[in-house]
Amino acid sequence: MKSILFALRVSELERSLAFYRTVGYVDLGTVPFDDGSSLVWLRLPDEPSVSLELVHRPADGPVEIGGFQHFAIEVASLRETIDRLAAAGLQPGEPELPGGADGPKTSWLTDPDGYRVELVEWPPSGPPTVE
């Protein structure tokens, strides 16, 4: 088994698309529904297929975040990613070292609906593995 994608319900589709495109996602397609709802499939450039689905249901009103914590995106260089996103008008947090000097470098970003995105640069030893 493997994970395929995760879905986020968004309040304003175009605003969310602008945010995720700025992060680096590219559109794969939109599935419209008769009631005005839609799904938009996105992926990052190095991914082979859809990894993020934005769900827009205008009739349901604004998104209220509850219980959702965050999702993470692996980046090659955290500093370069933070600089690129900040230059594009987003507000990534300063780098953190949650595992100490030999662990991953992370930064946090919040999307327009309040979903938190963790940017992660793994140390040279790579991500943790299970033996």
The model's pLDDT over 25-52, given as tens digits with 9 standing for 90+, comes to 999 999 999 999 999 999 999 999 999 9
Distance in Å from the first CA to the final CA of the chain:
18
Residue 111 confidence (pLDDT): 97
The band of 119, judged by pLDDT with boundaries at 50, 70 and 90, is very high
Q: Which of 106, 124, 108 is nearest to 116 (CA)?
A: 108
Average pLDDT over residues 101-121: 95
Structure-model confidence comparison of residues 126 and 16, the more confident one: 16
Q: Which of 128, 127, 107 is nearest to 116 (CA)?
A: 107
**Whole-prediction pTM:** 0.92
Residue 11 confidence (pLDDT): 96
- DSSP assignment of the chain: -----EEEEESSHHHHHHHHHHHT-EEEEEEE-TTS-EEEEEE-TT-SS--EEEEE-GGG-S----S---EEEE-S-HHHHHHHHHHTT--PPPPB-TT-TTS-EEEEEE-TTS-EEEEEE--TT-S----
Residue 129 confidence (pLDDT): 79
Average pLDDT over residues 73-86: 97
Which CATH architecture group holds 65-131? Roll (3.10)
How is residue 84 written in tokens? 């690129």
Domain boundaries, the chain: 1-61, 65-131
